[in-house]
Amino acid sequence: MKNEFKYIIHNNGDTSRKDPSKAKEMFPMERAWDARRFHRQIPNYHMTPLAALPNLSQLLGVGGIYVKDESLRLHMSSFKVMGGSYAVYRLVKQLLGKEDEDLSYEYLLSKECHDALGDVVFCSATDGNHGRGLAWACQKLNHPCKIYVHSETSQPRIDAIKRFGAEVTVVQGNYDDAVRQAAADAEKNGWYVVSDTSWEGYEEIPTWIMQGYTSILLEAQEQFSGMGIVKPTHVIVQAGVGALAAAVVGFYSALFPNDPPLFIVAEPDQAACIYESIAAGDGKCHTVEGDLATIMAGLACGEPSPIAFDILKNNADIFIQAPDNVAARGMRILGCPLHGDPIVISGESGALPLGTLFALCTDEIDEELKNVLKLDENSQIFMINTEGNTDPIEFRRILWDGKNPVPTRFQIQE
């Protein structure tokens, strides 16, 4: 049965029109190594698994499927802590006038450091995971933190932020309204915004956050090396404002400028701001209005981050918007895998890439899309499970109660 995906093959599949120059500028390897040096100092830091799913790969007729499992990152159930913590580190260095120095984690905790900084407050808007990661980083480094969430944010996600000592403000409206309120209050009170989305005049800190995510990709490349794989042939990455997607696409475009993987960017169909911006065809960011109603709370963003969009429009190959049932099926496949494949606990946003891949391989798709994808027994497909069970009630509704079922016409046939 023909699937319900909307897709765009960017630049008509002409890879010669890619431009990795900004990716090289934003994601040089020395910056990734700097982020990695900082992260390795954090107590209880360890490399997260790159889960191979050989039996699912065989079922789908591809060479390999590899899921970087960030549900196990620093007991935070999300990758977001990597960006927020690194941005706080870079901001502290800037405030101290020590941008060219490597500051130890111990120094960041010291009385000397705190006396030199004075009273600083960090704040941000969030759909849940970024705010929790920033709250965690601020608690570890003994700094106050103010987090803004929108009115549809679930109580378990709010409670998880509060557990790390942050003050949480609920803003009526959607995620983008929370972003605007956080920025306004920060300007009024002299706080420092640590946001993963950028806007005019606010680009440095979102860049640091994206660079912080590259620690994850350095780990993955080391793990691929251990398997004898130079690089993935395909990357499927989810997008909200586009920060993670741009970090992944930018990292690999900078590392392999002459032969990058095929990049597929997936979004919820109710919050596909990157897709709609690409569809406009003018190279500019465009806003998706409304309540952005999707189970993928971490991707429910109506406005792209301009610096992230700049990377994606110049380097990504395919843009897809998918209904919620695609992510829900991804959660169930990862949580109840084929015999012999590892269990991966994934939240709604984390499972979108796997759900997307499954649909691309099992549903009827346009020949045009099939010809560009080139999914076959030689394909080595990489994706990131960006979150674990961050909303236990919603998680049980999907896995136990079958919420957001796959429509009958797309279900597995005998």
Catalytic residues: 80, 127
* Phi and psi angles of residue 247, each rounded to the nearest 5 degrees, phi first: -65, -45
Residue with tokens 């990734």: 32
Q: State how far the Cα of 394 lies from the Cα of 75, in Å rounded to an integer.
A: 20
Query: CA distances (Å), 5 to each of 207, 250, 372, 373, in order?
Result: 31, 25, 15, 14
CA distance 363 to 262: 20
CB 375 within 8 A of CB 234: yes
Taking the CB of residue 367, how many other CB atoms lie within 10 A of it?
7
Sign of CA dihedral 263, 219, 94, 130: positive
Q: Which amino acid is at 103?
A: L
Per residue, the 3-state secondary structure of the chain, as one string, reads CECCCEEEEHHHHCHHHCCCHHHHHHCCHHHHHHHHHHHHHCCCCCCCCEEECHHHHHHHCCCEEEEEEHHHHHHCCECHHHHHHHHHHHHHHHHHCCCCCCCCHHHHHCHHHHHHHCCCCEEEEECCHHHHHHHHHHHHCCCCEEEEEECCCCHHHHHHHHCCCCEEEEECCCHHHHHHHHHHHHHHHCCEECCCCCECCECHHHHHHHHHHHHHHHHHHHHHHHCCCCCCCEEEEECCCCHHHHHHHHHHHHHCCCCCCEEEEEEECCCCHHHHHHHHCCCCCCCCCCCCCCCCHHHCCCCCCHHHHHHHHHHCCEEEEECHHHHHHHHHHHHCCCCCCCCCCCCCCCCHHHHHHHHHHHCECCHHHHHHHCCCCCCEEEEEECECCCCHHHHHHHHCCCCCCCCHHHCCCC
